[in-house]
Amino acid sequence: MDSIQVLDQQYVAGTYRRQDLALVSGKGSLFWGSDGKQYIDLTGGIGVNSFGACDDAWIQAVTQQLSTLSHSSNLFYTQPAAQLAQLLCQKTGMDKVFFSNSVAEANECAFKVARKYSAEKKGSDCYTILTLENSFHGRTITALSATGQDHYHRLFQPLTPGFLHVPANDTQALIQAVNQHKIAGIALECVQGEGGVLPLTAEFIQTAATIAQQQDIPLIIDEVQTGNGRTGKFYAYMHYGIQPDLVSTAKGLGGGLPIGATLMSEKVSSVLGPGDHGSTYGGNPVACAGAISIVNRMDEAFLAEVTRRGDYIRSALTGAPGVLSVTGLGLMIGIQTEKPAAEVVSACREQGVLCLTAKTKVRLLPPLNIPMDLLAQAMDVLRSACL
Ligand code: PLP
């Protein structure tokens, strides 16, 4: 263990199962460790580094803003937040954006909007948000309550009331829950990322959208892991021809700086008024300037390249010895291996490739622009680690 690891273990709360490696620098899809070794990055900082580490255009946007106006508070208008909100609305057809700093906050805002909308329309007893079993929506007490995985709940009772979980892809269970309860919102991830990189079926997503529309229930899509180009569309819901009422997004939007955003359709965009919600750091000019440089580059040609890279990984791994299945969408990939996933991830790291796990799978969320030659090298390593 090197000195960074020793210091961290002594002073940083032990909430993370860290890999046995300290990183000291990065550029694009490469990282360098305190061991002096170079690593190909298939983690993307868990889907955050959209254009890799220390991307030049992002650095330029961020540093320029940093020396112009670093923070001012939400008592004043600032250009980067206004401009980023406009860009996001233009790309999605949404009407307004609330900015926060994290994933969980982006979901919290969506839940607050759905609850207020439904309480005003259907009465104060209409507050239950329907989410899916095996979902993951964050770690604050309310986002945890939304998360449909009991093992996260056990130690933190009582949770926020008013969340109901139905099995993913079970259309009948969804219909039954909506008929039996007063539902204020339906929230889902199009691909359950932390749940094991499991895409929902198009039928289930479209049924949920239809029911939500027919019954005037706000539909919330958690695009935290799937969003900002990750699946080959700007947002994953765009694969399914649906139009959500609320979209929560973070991770890849910031390209490396913390930002959360909740996109609101016209139907719900004026639900929250002055004082109903807020955030000290939300819409920080530096984070927003970085995000603008990310979003501006996500055109159709770029998204087609994301799809091409995802297809390349799938064809490199599907049917390879030791690989049982490959799931996911675009550059969000889950690999069920014969060996335990943690063993495969360790073997890859020893050979200079960084990967993630999700449940029992090896998970890949590489930078969206990872060069094809690095990807080919990484696939050779991954295949040999699966043997
Ligand atoms: N929602 C989704 C879909 C996620 O994938 C994650 C994290 O991976 C979260 C919410 C929560 O993120 P955080 O742990 O940063 O709050």
How many Å apart are CA 322 and CA 324, to the nearest integer? 6
How many Å apart are CA 158 and CA 141, to the nearest integer? 9
CB of 148 closer than 6 angstroms to any ligand 1 atom: no
CB of 103 closer than 6 angstroms to any ligand 1 atom: yes
Centroid of ligand 1 to alpha carbon of 374 (angstroms): 27
Report CA-CA distances (Å) from 237 to 139, 217, 247, 262.
Answer: 23, 17, 9, 15
pLDDT, tens digit, 9 for 90 and up, residues 157-172 = 999 999 999 999 999 9
Residue of the nearest CA to atom 9 in ligand 1? 138
The closest-lying atom of ligand 1 relative to the alpha carbon of residue 248 is: 1
pLDDT, tens digit, 9 for 90 and up, residues 293-351 = 999 999 999 999 999 999 999 999 999 999 999 999 999 999 999 999 999 999 999 99
Q: How much is the pLDDT for 14?
A: 96
Closest by alpha carbon to 92, among 263, 206, 311, 277?
A: 263
Centroid of ligand 1 to alpha carbon of 107 (angstroms): 9
By most ligand atoms within 8 Å of CB, the mutation choice from 145, 222, 224, 262 for ligand 1 is 224
pLDDT, tens digit, 9 for 90 and up, residues 26-54 = 999 999 999 999 999 999 999 999 999 99
Burial class (CB in 10 A: 0-12, 13-18, 19+), 213: middle
CB of 112 closer than 6 angstroms to any ligand 1 atom: no
Q: How much is the pLDDT for 356?
A: 98
CA-angle at 351, arms to 347 and 357, nearest 5°: 45
Closest by alpha carbon to 248, among 148, 137, 355, 330?
A: 137
Cβ-proximal residues to 299 (8 Å cutoff; 6+ apart), any chain? none
Closest by alpha carbon to 292, among 221, 373, 228?
A: 228
pLDDT, tens digit, 9 for 90 and up, residues 266-302 = 999 999 999 999 999 999 999 999 999 999 999 999 9
CB of 146 closer than 6 angstroms to any ligand 1 atom: no
Burial class (CB in 10 A: 0-12, 13-18, 19+), 179: exposed
CB of 223 closer than 6 angstroms to any ligand 1 atom: no
CB of 115 closer than 6 angstroms to any ligand 1 atom: no
Q: How much is the pLDDT for 1?
A: 82
Average confidence score pLDDT of the chain: 98
**The dihedral sign for the CA sequence 63, 64, 66, 72:** negative
pLDDT, tens digit, 9 for 90 and up, residues 218-275 = 999 999 999 999 999 999 999 999 999 999 999 999 999 999 999 999 999 999 999 9
Neighbours of 153 (CB within 10 A): 15
Q: How much is the pLDDT for 232?
A: 98
CB of 51 closer than 6 angstroms to any ligand 1 atom: no
φ, ψ for residue 247, nearest 5 deg: -125, 125
Centroid of ligand 1 to alpha carbon of 138 (angstroms): 5
CB 383 within 8 A of CB 320: yes
